[in-house]
Amino acid sequence: MGDAFPKVKVAAVQAAPVYLDRERTLDKAVALISEASRNGADLIAFPEVFIAGYPYWNRLENVFKTTPFFIELLKNSVCVPGPVTDRLCKAAQQAGVHVVIGINERPDNTLGTLYNTNLVIGPEGKILLKHRKLMPTYAEKLVWGFGDGSSLRILSTPVGKIGTLICGENANPLARFALIAQGEEIHISNYPSMPSADYGGYNIGADVKLGGAAHAFEGKVFHVVVSSVIDATVVEKLADTEEKRRILTSPQSSFTGIFAPGGNLMSNTASPDQEEIVYAVCDIEDIIGPKLRHDLAGQYNRFDVLSLKLNRAPCKPITETDEALPADGDISDEEQESEKD
């Protein structure tokens, strides 16, 4: 008989938040968790910063005019732990599922910084991981602070070894390898939707699809890719000129789908402008064959030639100590010894 490996039904929830409305978006998230679990999902993934939205204004507006939007985003951000995470944890527990969801996180030590954060919640209703995006992308640096290496971890769960990276982090080979090397089996990446008329004409959907297949192929992992939708609540908040309305209502560019360990698409894909839940069943045993060809965490690597250093130290604004400091005018022992010399 030997060992049995889990078969997992995963759900990629392509949906729009109720833009800059934390409470209504939370209600929507809880309802979507319930819907996906009724359809048999064991693992449910939501878009980047689903609660309560992506800061599109930084791509539309003079930076000096964006402070009111940041204030509104901060007011609708999420403290971890707090009432919002309590409801998410309860929803995951009631459904008996794992949930990966993006939030705008507000730290407890300042009102001037937010973080682009993914939460992984277990079926026992506990937060298993809080991962802050290492490096905000492009104009995002005007909104979010930097994460650190403390959360570049995989989670060993009954549904498999789960890892997650946010949006542009998935373009970083070192961040992806940090998870592959820990034995990642199911990777979750999440993204915003972008308007096709966005300045520069960036086609995020094509890049996300390419990167999704690449990580599944390189790591021999299942890769759940999920993006958001730009809906009328975004346009209502941000489109105060015809030009902004033209951009925000242009055809959307995004990708939501699920890849098999060889890099092949194993699910249907969601239409970029439609809310839809995409499902697939991931049999962890299906990783073994592809790994036999290219196991970057084992036999198909040379760690004596190539290696990665991962700094897990949390970035803290202050380091506290109980050591007594010399009073003003006092001379430390070291200084006294120096004077004797």
Q: How many residues comprise the chain?
A: 341
- The residue annotated as part of the active site, out of 48, 105, 140, 184, is 48
What six digits make up the tokens of 24?
């209504």
CA distance 115 to 105: 5
Per DSSP, what are the bridge partners of residue 257? 225
CA distance 128 to 255: 27
CA distance 82 to 130: 13
- The residue annotated as part of the active site, out of 9, 133, 161, 220, is 133
**Nearest residue to 42 via CA among 131, 160, 165:** 160
Can 167 be counted among the known catalytic residues?
yes
**Cα 190 off chain centre by:** 6
Can 315 be counted among the known catalytic residues?
no
Can 79 be counted among the known catalytic residues?
no
CA distance 324 to 273: 61
What six digits make up the tokens of 231?
């809906």
Q: Which residues, other chains included, contact 295 with Cβ-Cβ below 8 Å and sequence gap of 6+?
A: 220, 301
Phi, psi (degrees; rounded to nearest 5) at 181: -65, -20
Residue type, 116: N
- The residue annotated as part of the active site, out of 105, 140, 167, 169, is 167
- DSSP-derived secondary structure letter, 265: B
Contact between residue 310 and residue 178 where contact means Cβ atoms under 8 Å apart: yes
CA dihedral 254, 256, 262, 267 (to 10 degrees): -140
**Nearest residue to 33 via CA among 44, 22, 48, 25:** 44
Q: Provide the annotated active-site residues.
A: 48, 133, 167
